Amino acid sequence: MPLTTEQAQELADARTAAAETRRATVPALEEILFEAVPVLDHGFVRVVDYMGDDAAIVQAARVSYGRGTKRVSEDEGLIRYLMRHRHSTPFEMCEIKFHVKLPIFVARQWIRHRTANVNEYSARYSVLDREFYVPAPAQLAAQSSSNRQGRGDVLEGEEAARALRWLRDDATQAFDHYEAMLNEDETAAGYDPEGQGLARELARMNLPLSTYTQWYWKCDLHNLFHFLSLRADPHAQYEIRVFADVMLDMVRRWVPLACRAFEDYRLGAVEVSAPGLAVVKRMLAGEAVEQKGSGLSPREWRELMAVLGR
């Protein structure tokens, strides 16, 4: 994740600035505020700003003045109760703003979460950097035979080398043509000193989905937990999951009590349907239950058995 000299200086200046405040701050998150954490080959995530902490969740639930006088253990118990019983509004009192640099195809998945405020880099006004995502060999996999939106075995040998070569060569050629059509860079191949160049809003349309974009993404904690429950899940696509994993580490710093409850009751937990629960109760009573007499479809049965480790 190379940063330009100007970007590195901007981050350094931001991290050295300090201001006195009466609002809640979290030392563990302050330590990494503005720091760009690398993701994939050219991407990053950094926390730009935040509001609230674990105490803000408790305060909202109790509608109390100040931070209250309850012990931390009592606060944690309340937060866990709220998470366990899906009382979401107290978690909405906390907000966080991220600056994310990510491939466009990841952004198109990400934007499906419509509960955040987003402002994205515009290639209508600015020229995109020559940066595109190329998977590491370990992530270069074939289509899964059992999952229409998943990956199977990792490609090897000449097939893998050819795929990587095409991914890199096609993106490189697209950027060559993009820069030539813009006709703004005297060092670019095809530069025409007499040419006007194509409008930026048109020249961008030939670039691949692997091209990197950037945005500011602001979200409240309740909806951030929903995002993480889907995108930090092992079944999520690798390229978005690595961003979610980094963000989850940041949330652990920010609201450790709430994050621990989230990981216990959402991320690391499973839901069982009413018919599935009935099957579990029958099994606990000593009954030998088979799929045909369970009331579950074959797929539901397989999923339940996987959850139970049977």
Catalytic site positions: 231
Q: Do the Cβ atoms of 232 and 140 come closer than 8 Å?
A: no
Continuous segment of H or E residues that includes residue 9? helix 5-16
Which tokens sit at 112? Answer: 């499906």
How far is C-alpha 68 from the geometric centre of its chain's CA atoms? 33
CA-angle at 75, arms to 70 and 77, nearest 5°: 125
Cβ neighbours for 10, distance < 8 A, ≥ 6 positions apart: none
What's the first-to-final CA gap in the chain, in angstroms? Answer: 44
Lookup: tokens for 64: 């109390």
The DSSP line for 239-283 is HHHHHHHHHHHHHHHH-HHHHHHHIIIIIT-----HHHHHHHHHH
* Inter-residue contact 32 to 13 (CB < 8 Å): no
Q: In the chain, count of helices (H) and strands (E)?
A: 12, 7
Residue type, 219: C
* Cα–Cα dist 76/80, whole Å: 6
CB atoms within 10 A of CB 51: 15
**Cα distance between residue 33 and residue 49, in whole Å:** 7
Residue type, 52: G
Which of 93, 127, 140, 131 lies closest to 239 in space, CA to CA?
A: 140
Could you tell me which residues are beta bridge partners of residue 250?
none
